[in-house]
Amino acid sequence: MTDQAASSSRFYLTTPIYYVNARPHLGHAYSTIVCDAIARRKRALGIDTWFLTGTDEHGQKIERSAKLAGRTPQEFATAISGEFRALWDQLGLTYDDFIRTTEERHKRSVQHLFATLRDRGYIYKGSYTGQYCVFDELYVDGPPGTPCPDCGRITETVSEENYFFKLSAFERRLLEFYEANPGFMQPESTRREVISFVRGGLKDLSVSRTSFSWGIPVPGDEKHVIYVWLDALANYITALGYGTENDEKFKKYWPADIHLIGKEISRFHCVYWPAFLMAAGIEPPSSVRANGWLLFDQGKMSKSRGNIVRAETVHAVLGADALRYFLLREIPFGQDGNFTFDALVQRYNGDLANGYGNLVSRVVNMVHKFFGGVVPQINGGYPIDEYPDETALRIRAGFTIEQFAKRFDELNFSQALESLWIMVAETDGYLTANAPWKKPADRSDADHTALQARVLATAAEAIRIITALVYPVLPDAAAKVWRQLGQGEIADAARASFLTHLAWGGLKPGTQFAEPAPLFPRAEKDAIERMVQIEEENNKSVIEAAGGPSPAQAEPAAAPAPTQEPKKKAEKKPMEETKPTPAPESAIPPATTAPASAAPAASSPTPAEVPAQAAAEEKQYISIDDFAKVELRVAQVLVAERIPKADKLLRLEVDLGYEKRQILAGIAQYYEPEKLIGRKIVIVANLAPRKMRGLESNGMLLAASLPPDGAPVLAGFLEEVPLGARLK
């Protein structure tokens, strides 16, 4: 987005709608906070803005999560959707609408879209036999057992009668569209990835399912439910009333100016979505902007990794503004960024407590002390060349207003804030250089008062400009400062489009300041400990909650496979034990460490699901501390041989990287010893040694036990893993 584009009179921006299979974490809050900051700035620029967010509640993944939690899908979705909404409210996010895909208004409108696509000849009936990733709700090319290209989990084989969308008809049109609209997808890496995907050829897409029922029925053929991604993507228009009598918003706000999304869902937004829209005769969105991932302990923050931090925790200790500032300042938008409590507290203390907060407090206090809280008149009574910095500050302000706008509107938040903080530092330097609190012996009283008036009025004006600019990022703090500067309510100013005429000279002499109030109290050493502790306690209480699992605890058991995020996997270190890692939120019992190779039919519970479900129903949970006692590690088989007179046992020598071990395993009837050599397996490394047939076994290997006779299938990895790596 550029200033020109933004100056059109309306602006529509959206977050992805969040799956309700797990409660919100910082990764989700990130996209929503970014949108909130954009929306606030647009509104304060006098642009009629519509900011949409919501929850994605249909599909097999949610159906399975609900089942696991012992709830109906609707109850389950309502509970988690409520958590998302409550969190956005707690963080003060100013969305204009919150859509749930289970709402009637959405269902009707999606059915209208489906019927339109069918009437226009873009949907036909066929049958699909192939692979499907339930975790990503994605069709995958390849034979049974193929891992999902997005999450690495093993896909399931589905064979169903389906409706198909003629995606293949859009290959050329999409490429022409990308060419004609170079700003459509950003960052560049996303653009390249999407274009090469389309150039690789598009196949028709199955857009209905029959093997489960948690979805929107296909109009006129109700045994089919509409593919969850068609259902979900449509939210961007259904929320505006598309296809209903009440479609003024659709007419007014569509096409969207920005769909803000996470980078892993760009194919859905940049390929399928514009194709659906073109097919329905609707204009595609103006731009799709992908944010990177928030990483914690080197991995994408996600529930399945168990490495999440919740926004509530940061909110409780440092406040919502601190979180907003950190996310926007620390992470260049579009790139992955690390979240650490250390970095958060450092930014907070450095930039907010000691930087902006301290500057405001110094100036407001001095205006109170020396001028009774009234902005003094600059009377020119003191020679101007004594304050060369004053002109510099005024020039800096003009430059900052422009540079901040340009960078922010390009979604380059980090550099926008960097330029604003240069102005914070210069204002600070200006104060220090002129030291209005100290009267040199050779300066007359009148001259000193004139200096104080000039310096404090100038610094206060600089603060007013900084505060107006920073308002979309620090709305709570800006509101407090605005009041202290005697400017009233900043929300009113925003409604009156105050950013359109922001210029030096707005702080009038005679303005009465309000009492100073603390903005960002310095975070002491224990802030980090408190946040870590809150996370730990929350995880414990979630996992050990009496009275049955909360919906937030469930995760589809259909996704038993690797916890790695395969994209960029090579760049990421496995999680380390040494960090104060919050415990996983998942309450799935360890029984879910099932074979990665199982490819169950879509409609029936997977082998992994059965024990998990049963355990969930019986509420037999272990605590995360119990689980942490089991040391699971990656080992490689160096030697494998039969043991004389023991037809079930194999003797293995395995390498853990840091040591070699002998293990005896009862798998001789199922595995040829020579085929095991070189194979990477998972062992329980801290099992007490025991003797069998006169040989010592130091550990136990992990295998799924398949019905009916318990045939073992060794656990392993699809990706390269170093020896000795711990499984957590």
Give the residues lining the site for ligand MSP (CB under 6 A): 16-19, 27-28, 30-31, 56, 232-233, 235, 261-262, 264-265, 293-294, 300-302
- Strand segments, DSSP code E, in 187-322 are 205-206, 208-209, 217-218, 221-226, 258-262, 288-291, 294-296, 299-300
User: Is the Cβ of residue 62 or residue 701 nearer to ligand MSP in the bound state?
Assistant: 62
Q: How far apart are CA 237 and CA 243, in angstroms?
A: 9
User: Is the Cβ of residue 542 or residue 667 nearer to ligand MSP in the bound state?
Assistant: 542
Residue 139 near residue 206, CB atoms below 8 Å: yes
Determine if residue 699 is left, alpha or beta; phi over 0 gives left, psi from -120 to 50 gives alpha, anything else beta. left
Q: How far is the CB of 153 from ligand MSP (least distance, A)?
A: 14
In what helix (H) or strand (E) does residue 400 lie, and over which residues does it extend?
helix 388-409
Q: How far is the CB of 299 from ligand MSP (least distance, A)?
A: 9
User: Is the Cβ of residue 17 or residue 113 nearer to ligand MSP in the bound state?
Assistant: 17
Q: How far is the CB of 234 from ligand MSP (least distance, A)?
A: 8
Q: How far is the CB of 28 from ligand MSP (least distance, A)?
A: 5
Q: How far is the CB of 14 from ligand MSP (least distance, A)?
A: 8
What b-and-e string marks burial along 364-401, b requiring 16 or more CB atoms within 10 Å of the CB? Answer: bebbbebbebebbebeeebeeeebebbeebbebbeebb
For ligand MSP, the nearest residue by Cβ is 262
Helices and strands: H and E segment counts in the chain: 25, 27
Q: How far is the CB of 301 from ligand MSP (least distance, A)?
A: 3
Residue 393 near residue 456, CB atoms below 8 Å: no
User: Is the Cβ of residue 88 or residue 430 nearer to ligand MSP in the bound state?
Assistant: 88
User: Is the Cβ of residue 276 or residue 621 nearer to ligand MSP in the bound state?
Assistant: 276
Q: How far apart are CA 33 and CA 55, in angstroms?
A: 16
Residue 238 near residue 276, CB atoms below 8 Å: no
Q: How far apart are CA 59 and CA 133, in angstroms?
A: 12
Q: How far is the CB of 595 from ligand MSP (least distance, A)?
A: 25
Partners of residue 97 on adjacent β-strands: 52
Partners of residue 660 on adjacent β-strands: 655
User: Is the Cβ of residue 19 or residue 382 nearer to ligand MSP in the bound state?
Assistant: 19
Q: How far is the CB of 263 from ligand MSP (least distance, A)?
A: 7
SS3 of 442, please? coil
Residue 600 near residue 552, CB atoms below 8 Å: no
User: Is the Cβ of residue 52 or residue 455 nearer to ligand MSP in the bound state?
Assistant: 52
Q: How far is the CB of 124 from ligand MSP (least distance, A)?
A: 24
Q: How far apart are CA 59 and CA 99, in angstroms?
A: 16
User: Is the Cβ of residue 19 or residue 430 nearer to ligand MSP in the bound state?
Assistant: 19
Q: How far apart are CA 326 and CA 566, in angstroms?
A: 27
User: Is the Cβ of residue 225 or residue 701 nearer to ligand MSP in the bound state?
Assistant: 225
Residue 44 near residue 471, CB atoms below 8 Å: yes
Query: How large is the angle between the packed helices 273-280 and 104-119, nearest 10 degrees?
Result: 70
User: Is the Cβ of residue 30 or residue 341 nearer to ligand MSP in the bound state?
Assistant: 30
* Per-residue tokens: 49: 């803005």
Would strands 660-665 and 646-655 be described as parallel, antiparallel, or unpaired? antiparallel
Quickly list H helices, 91-163.
104-119
Q: How far is the CB of 619 from ligand MSP (least distance, A)?
A: 27
User: Is the Cβ of residue 207 or residue 507 nearer to ligand MSP in the bound state?
Assistant: 207
